[in-house]
Structure 1
Amino acid sequence: MKPTDLEFRLNGRAQAIGDGEPTESLLRWLHRQGLRGTKEGCGDGDCGACTVLLVQPDAPSDRRLLAINSCLLPMGQLAGREVYTV
């Protein structure tokens, strides 16, 4: 699978990571896209400044919402998932 094949939903819209790498953090990718509402504080996942909402499907009719540190989340783990930012 090529990085361009990785698709996910960001703030309700379909996205592909494009020229990004699967190991690049979601925070870095967001900033490269010009989406700077999600901030970087410590870069280690301790402060929570980079928190985003990840929708985790538990069942076809049920979804769980998770607060995730975007500085620690590799783009490759977003395939088929849904993320909401500020």
Structure 2
Amino acid sequence: MFGSRRGEDSSATCPACGEAVDRTDAREYDKYGNRWERAEKEFEYLCKPCHRDLCHQPRQGLEAALVECEAGDADRETFLTQFLETATADEAER
């Protein structure tokens, strides 16, 4: 396609596996799930194998739930317990 518009680096690191990939060999990823609204966003780039492994279903509210459950900060057991409680409560509200 076209070259970089902002003089960005032509390589990226896949956040899923840590592999360094050329941007032309990567897939743009928007953690908020709406890559079409581009204003003032920074995107991550997944390598093609990791992108294929993603679930491409809507994930409205997922980012907020992860933040609420302290993803990346809490230990695994605490995070999973909090996430399960949050997901169960959300399901009960529907």
TM-score by length of 2: 0.26
Q: Tell which structure's C-alpha radius of gyration is larger.
A: 2
The structure whose residues are more often strand, as a share, is 1
Give the structure, 1 or 2, with the largest relative contact order (CA under 8 Å, sep 6 or more). 1
